[in-house]
Amino acid sequence: MKKSQLSLIFIFAMVVSVIGNPMVVLAANDDLTFDSLYLSVRPEFDFPPDWFDTNVPAVLVVQIAELTNNTNEPITTISYPAPIDEPNFHVYAVGKLQSQGQYWPAPHVLSEGKIHIDLKDYPILPDEDYSLTVQYYYNPFTIDNARKSFSFEFAPDFNVKEVLMNVATPPAAKNVRIEPVKYALNDVKEIDVNKDNPISLDVVYDKADNKPANQPLSSKADKGDGNTDMLFILFVALLLIIVIIFIFSQKGSLSSKNSSKQKAKKDSHQLNAKKSKPSNQKVKGQPEQKKFNEDVSEEQKDLRKKLLAGEIDEKAYHEQMKKLNNK
């Protein structure tokens, strides 16, 4: 079945669903406000997982739009401009952005230069700040030996209040030229971008090979239900807990060691103080014993002199010495 026939079937199905379900609303220009848009054009950034030929370079276009529903009903379908007729056009991601790198994929068909997106599973609710991601690859290059060039234009039917424009040429590219020159800078801001005030640019550079700057993306990585993020968050939380426990245990051990060292140091000081400082406490009997020994020594000398002088006999000497020793 041809793409045109598929597009007609999809559009017919949307019309039938609107008739059968009044809660399903097709977005008109005034129903939605495009408050801001991040628009990044990345030639030879990578390949999608199912790119037809890795010898053919691709341009990745990443868009994240911030929308507001101005109606009283949920909006479930919108049409978004894209160069669907360019060679090898390939939608990589379309749907409600959940978080950085993850989105809720939405069914879509291509026709009339637009991506028709079915958001009935994740509708844009009244007054809701809604993030929509649209990412696609295509091959707009004109290649002359090592010289590569292409043009890009964003001219939506609706008005975007503010566009943050980014062009990321491959690091291996040489002699890069971007027109207008302002888009060679990172994150150029444009105001009120629409069909009458589009963003148009031309990119030229030299690069002999067709190797992308990054490895091919995994489609599963971007269509997340939050499980990967949750596992990563749990891992980081567990790692933080282990680090905190380790830090506190080290602090406790260090504090205990310091306390032990301080106590040992204090005890050493006290012991040294006891050794160096004379005690005021008297040892019982010590001074009296010294005096007693001195007195006995003198009396013994006198007895010895009397014995030698013949004043007393030897018997008297021993008796008196015995008395002195028994004192």
In the block, tokens 């408050």 appear at 35
- Answer for the pair 77, 205: CB distance below 8 angstroms, yes or no: no
- pLDDT surpasses 80 at 112: yes
- pLDDT surpasses 50 at 293: no
Q: What is the mean pLDDT of residues 14-40?
A: 64
- Answer for the pair 132, 123: CB distance below 8 angstroms, yes or no: no
Paired strand residues for 131: 66
The helices-and-strands tally (H runs, E runs) of the chain is 5, 14
* One-letter amino acid of 189: K
Q: What is the largest CA-CA distance in the chain?
A: 160
Q: 131: closest CA among 142, 144, 120, 122?
A: 122
Q: What pLDDT score was predicted for residue 265?
A: 55
- pLDDT surpasses 50 at 170: yes
Please work out, in degrees rounded to the nearest 5, the angle formed at the alpha carbon of residue 185 by the alpha carbons of 180 and 190.
Answer: 65
Question: pLDDT by residue (tens digit) across 221-239?
Answer: 344 444 445 566 777 777 8
Q: What pLDDT score was predicted for residue 266?
A: 54
| DSSP letter for each residue of 141-168 | -EEETTEEEEEEEE--SS-EEEEEEEE-
Q: What pLDDT score was predicted for residue 262?
A: 60
| Run of H or E including 203 | strand 199-206
Fold of 3-223: Immunoglobulin-like (2.60.40)
Strands (E), 16-139: 32-43, 59-69, 77-81, 90-99, 102-105, 108-111, 114-118, 129-138
Question: pLDDT by residue (tens digit) across 118-136?
Answer: 999 999 999 888 999 999 9
Q: Cα-flanking dihedrals φ and ψ of residue 222, to 5°? A: -90, -20
pTM of the entire structure?
Answer: 0.61
